[in-house]
Each structure stands twice: as C-alpha cells, then as structure tokens.
Amino acid sequence: MNIPTRFLSMIFILGGFVTGLWAQEEADKWDVNNPPGLFETHTFSLEEGTWMNLDLSPDGRQLVFDLLGDIYLMPATGGEAKVLRSGLAWEVQPRFSPDGSKILFTSDAGGGDNIWVMNADGSDARQVTHENFRLLNNPAWMPDGMYFVARKHFTSERSLGAGEIWMYHLSGGSGLQLTKRKNDQQDVNEPCPSPDGRYVYFSEDMYPGGYFQYNKDPNKQIYQIRRYDLETGEIRAVTGGMGSAFRPQISHDGKYLAFVRRVRTKSTLFIRELSTGKEFALYDDLSKDQQEAWAIFGVYTGFAWSPDDSEIYIWAKGKIRKVNVKTREVSTIPFHLRAEHKMMETVRFEHKVFEPEFDVKVIRHAVTSPDGKQLVFSAVGYLWKKDLPNGKPVRLTSQQDMLEFEPAFSPDGKYLVYVSWNDEEYGRLWKLRLSDGFRQMLSDEPGIYRTPSFSPDGRQIVFRREAGNGHQGSLYCTEPGIYRMSAEGGEAVFVCREGEYPLFNADGTRIFYQTGGYLFGAIEKNYYSVDLNGHEKRHHFKAPYAQRIVPSPDNHWVAWSELYKVYVAPMPETGRAISLSANSKAVPVAQVARDAGINIHWSPDSKVLHWM
C-alpha cells in the first residue's frame, strides 16, 4: 500500500496566530469556446429538436429558439434557420426585447450561467450579469426594455439547491432581489412580467415537507404559479392545484395567463382568464414536463403568444407548434438547420475490473498516536498503522471476517478502541492492545456502534449507538444514543439520546457532542455537553456552515471545519452559546488549512492540530 505522506497529516503549532498569504499561480484565462485539447467538428441537418425554448418577435415575423445549446433565428412561418450563437458554450432561453431590437439569453460563455444580450441579428453580444457562484437563467424583459428579471440559483448542502427572482438593469449591476427562497431545496423559477410592468408571475415548488423529494406525485400539486407585486412587494397565489401549474406566460393584453399543467399522464397547455379565474385546456400533446425532477432551468420550455394573442407558439415532441386559442387548431411550423458542433476528444483511462493488489488512493478516520510517531487509519475496510513520516503502512489485525473503522488512541498510546461491522453479525465495539495485537470485544450485544473515544484517564469509553439506516438495517437499534462504559468492557451506561461525535471534557466529568449531522443535515451545527449521566446540558457553540467541531483536550481551543476549510479559535466559557464562524470577530480566528481538511484531531498536550 503506497500512501503519500503529504496527504496523511498537516500540523499547525499553536504558539500564536500567524497571518500569512499563500501564493497562487495565476492560471491562464479559460475560454469556454476554445478550450485546450483535440476535437472533431461534426455537421448535421436537423428538422426537429429536444427541449427547445422559443420566442416570437414583437412584430410576429421572426422566431428565435435554442437547440443543443445554440441559438437560431428564422421566419415565423418556418423555413431555414440562421445560427445566431454557436460554439461549445451552452446558450439557451432567448427572449426578444419589447421593441424587437435585442435578444436576452442564458450563456455560460463567461465560465458560468449568466444573462447576456445581443442584437436581434446576433451581433454585439455581451455579458450583462457577472455572477460567479449564484448563477442565473430564464431571463425575461420588463416592458420598458431597460430592466429584466431572471432566476438566481442558490446551491445548498443537498443536491441542486433552489432559486430566487432578481431584477437587473440592462447596463449591469449586482441586481435587486424580488423573492426570497423559503428554504434551500424548493425552487422558484420561470419569471414572466405582466405587460403593465406591475407584476412578475413565476412558478414555485409548493410540495409539502419543506424540502426536495424524489418521489413526488405530479397529479397532486407540486408547482404553483404565484405573482409578485412590484409596487407593494406582496406575493399572491394565482393558480395551482391538482397537476400543478408552471411556466406562466401572460398575453400581450394582460387578460390571459397561459401555463402548463399535468393531467394524469399528459402535460397540457392551459389558458386562465385572469378576470374570472376560468381555466380551460388548450393542447394536451406536449412533451413530458420536468416537475418531478430538479428543474433548475424551468419545468417546461419557454413559449410565446402571437402579437394579437390569437395563437401560442410552443415546442412539443420535437417540433414547433402553433396553437389557435379560439379554435384549438394545431399546426406545425417546419424548420431546417445545419448544426455544427465540436466534439472534444474523450479522456479515457484503463480501469481493470479486478486486481489482487492495488495502490489505495483514499483513506479514512486518520488519527495520530499521542507521541506523534504513528498514524492509524482505515482503508479498504481494515485498520492500518504507519510510522511517521515515511513508514510503510501495515495492517493492525489479521482477521478477515469484519470491517474495521473509526479508531481512537488511549491517552497512553497503548490501546486502540474501534468499531466493526459484519452484515450477518452486525456491529461491535473493540479494544486492541498495540504491543501484541490482542483484541477484546467490549460490547455485549450487536448494534451499529460509532466514533468511540477514551476518557482522559483512559478508564472509560464513550461512543454512540445509531438508530438504524437504509443500508445497515435497524435490528438491535431500538435504543440509540450516546453511551459510556468501562474501558475493560461490561455494561454500557446510557447518557443521552441526541448527538454525534461524543468526547470527554478535560477532566472527564462531562461529555461533549455535536448535533446537526456532518455533510448532510442542518446547515447550522450545535455543540453541547452533559454530565456523565446526561444531565446539566450546556450549549457551547452554534456554527453555521460547519461540518465538524473538535475542542482541544485541555478545552482551551476549538477547531472546526467550515465549508471544508479548517479554523482554530480560543474556547471561552461564557455560560451561553458562542457563534463559531470564519468571520467571527468576538475571538481571534485563524484559518489553518489552505484548501480543505477532514479527520481533525489534537495532540494530547493541545499544542498540535492534525488534519488530513
């Protein structure tokens, strides 16, 4: 097993806080449309397309649409399409300005999704917004042609995040927030201003539960169309209900709202008369909408009314359709185009299905011995030790019946406590004597044991029993929580129900623990302690965006990871919770990991911090 030493442990000496700057090489500016590497150019003819957003010019003479990340223009009656924007950049969702002279669109040509504008003939394209983290899509013009609204995307700790509606001036700026997301997982999208400029209609995920769910019922309400009042800031529901309502598009006279709704298995174009609330289905042969998915670019593609509001132009099942609002007659607008796309050479690596021996690339649960001379860690399901700095890793046990995880040293460095797992025999808690490899099973019954650690005098062990999960099951998990027991084994003593990562305090009279999960769970983590019987609960820290909180053994310092970077601060006792943050001003804070760090742990004298 070959493991580079530089990945195993980095050390921060707490002789004082050192301020410094890390030099960074300035990388060559990346050109999305001209990246390094080999490519082949492929040209092909198209008469149909997938997931095409379109818009009709104010005079009704031209159609603009996207196809495979390029933008095209053609007569509204159909025919040969002219390419306006092409290349490797993904450019979609074109919208004509009110006077027809310009087109807004979404593009990642600047490195991430932002809103761009170009002349209607494709010339003089420029980036309007300059978001580098909270990216944008779905632009829509305000009636005055000076402003536009768009959806700003907010990522979260889980999957793809949520959106807000923001307004921007055509000349640029950081934008003005209109709606505020109710959480980080339910989306707001597809803005559409009213013709008088007073309202912005949009769709919002209203599914019960307050978080994104993968098994939603599309015949119940997932999305609702809502309306933001630009004069008062008030938000009101417009329509929704069974099958949802999304992709709102207001008629030019402001009297009708077109939108899409699921009717059993069919995505259907609907019309709502705004003055009466009367709704009727117009066209039920659309392509399937994306309301069960995380539709960050919209639940359905953008469509448009004709200038006299008699017809709607919309993409469906590969074609551009024109639907007469009164007669419901549907016709197809034919198009033809020559698409040219660069296909970058695929990077390929040989991956053997099986090798009897291989170099381990990932290790877990790394802990440094109290004397700083050895590192113990878990890799490929077993515990290993490595003499620092350049020793060869060797296994600590020879057994093949169970997986080994989460080791912790005794204060004198003579023992390890760790947990094991076997799918048939379940989990156990073990103590290993390092001098001769003798193993002792400490737990009397099976279960899911986690993160054990010794008391400062080495006489007790604290650990957590899990409540069960989807891949390990829930057998022997009826009494989850934090427990302690003698380091010699015996009966476990229940401490408290909540918490993870339990640790003894400096004098062994209390037990620290963390709530809020690690990578998943709550955005804000909290740190508490209780006495050895689970009483006298104290709240020590609250830490937004933290992953792991680890006090030093003398309880004078605290280290934590926040957005994967590692920080250190003093650990005062004030009788109330202290907010831990990289931006904290109440106590000095030092960032000690330049990039990221996990497996945070301290030396016994609290002078050295290790992480991986």
CATH topology of domain 48-333: Neuraminidase (2.120.10)
Q: Which residue has the tokens 């623990």?
A: 513
Confidence of residue 159 (pLDDT cuts 50, 70, 90): low
CA distance 453 to 1: 27
Tell me: the pLDDT tens digits for 285-329?
999 999 998 888 999 999 999 999 999 999 999 999 999 999 999
Region label for 353, one of left (φ > 0), alpha (ψ between -120 and 50) or beta (otherwise): alpha
Mean pLDDT calculated for residue range 110-136: 95
User: For a pLDDT cut of 90, what percent of the chain falls above it?
Assistant: 83
Q: Is the peptide bond before 218 cis (omega within 30 degrees of 0)?
A: no
CA distance 57 to 305: 10
* pLDDT number for residue 20: 39
For the chain, the average pLDDT equals 92
CA distance 297 to 193: 18
β pairing state of 460-465 and 510-515: unpaired
Confidence of residue 184 (pLDDT cuts 50, 70, 90): confident
Confidence of residue 167 (pLDDT cuts 50, 70, 90): very high
What is the separation of C-alpha 371 from the centre of its chain, rounded to a whole number of angstroms? 40
DSSP strands (E only) in 170-296: 172-177, 188-193, 199-205, 223-229, 235-239, 246-250, 256-263, 266-273, 279-283
Closest CA to 203 of 223, 184, 217: 223
* pLDDT number for residue 201: 98
DSSP label at residue 81 = P
Both structure tokens of 82: 């002219």
* pLDDT number for residue 522: 86
Closest CA to 426 of 363, 477, 388, 461: 477
Tell me: the pLDDT tens digits for 434-477?
999 999 999 989 999 999 999 999 999 999 999 999 899 999 99
CA distance 541 to 580: 6
* Residue 111 · residue 130 · CB < 8 Å: no
Task: To the nearest 10°, report the CA torsion of 388, 391, 396, 401.
Answer: 120
Both structure tokens of 223: 């999305």
* Residue 78 · residue 333 · CB < 8 Å: yes
pTM over 0.75: no
Task: Identify any residues that bridge with 375 across adjacent strands, giving them in sequence order.
Answer: 368, 386
Mean pLDDT calculated for residue range 427-437: 96
Least confident range of 143-152, 255-264, 587-596: 587-596
